[in-house]
Amino acid sequence: MNLVLFDLDNTLLSGDSDFEWAQFLIAKGALDREAHEARNIEFYEAYRAGTLDIDAFLDFQLAPLARHPRAELDAWHEEFMATRIRPMIGAPARALAQRHLDEGSLCVIVTATNSFVTGPIAREFGIPHLVSTIPAQENGRFTGKPRGTPAFKAGKIERVDAWLESQGCWWDGFGQTWFYSDSFNDLPLLKRVSHPVAVDPDDTLRDHARRAGWPILSLR
């Protein structure tokens, strides 16, 4: 059996679910536009530049989850899926995921975006497993803080390692391992697999992929 890992934002999606979730909350009036929109853009640009302070970002991104009951958040997320996420899912991305599923591979979405935002997106693709940043909960409500290591940069390897162990699996137990990603932030995990694939990559990852002889794929 093969292991196939997919990044989500700007890889399977033609956009960033983390960024869009904050913009969605701003549009709903759940977040103040003046106070939050500029910061949301600032964090997104820092991510693209490789300078993101993940702890500061998670304080920003997870805090709204703690201000609202889960039922309200879930209702908003259904609207978010319909208006923001499904329009970012193209036929080539669905076909790529389905091809690996049909081959019987163990398929996993691995993303820094928190599991509240990304869980329904993984289900939309029919991908049964998700390794992501976990928003902490107490008594059924989010606390506004992460639990454990964020699935970001080298943290993705740590989280995948822990997930594999929980499944009774290990890296060398697979025939081949794949990871699809758009971002140079994912170079640690891309270098860990036997088949790294750059998907609509940023300039830094594109240059690295060309030098390393990695395939470059577009899903747009």
Residues annotated as catalytic are: 7, 9
For the chain, what percentages of helix, strand and coil (3-state, to nearest 5) are there?
55, 20, 25
| 3 state DSSP class of 181 | strand
Give the C-alpha separation, 63 to 137, whole Å: 12
Residues sharing a CB contact under 8 Å with residue 74, sequence separation 6 or more, in sequence order: none
Quickly list DSSP for 97-165.
HHHHHHTT-EEEEEEEEEHHHHHHHHHHHT--EEEEEEEEEETTEEEEEEESS-SSTHHHHHHHHHHHH
Helix (H) and strand (E) counts in the chain:
9, 7
User: DSSP label at 170?
Assistant: -
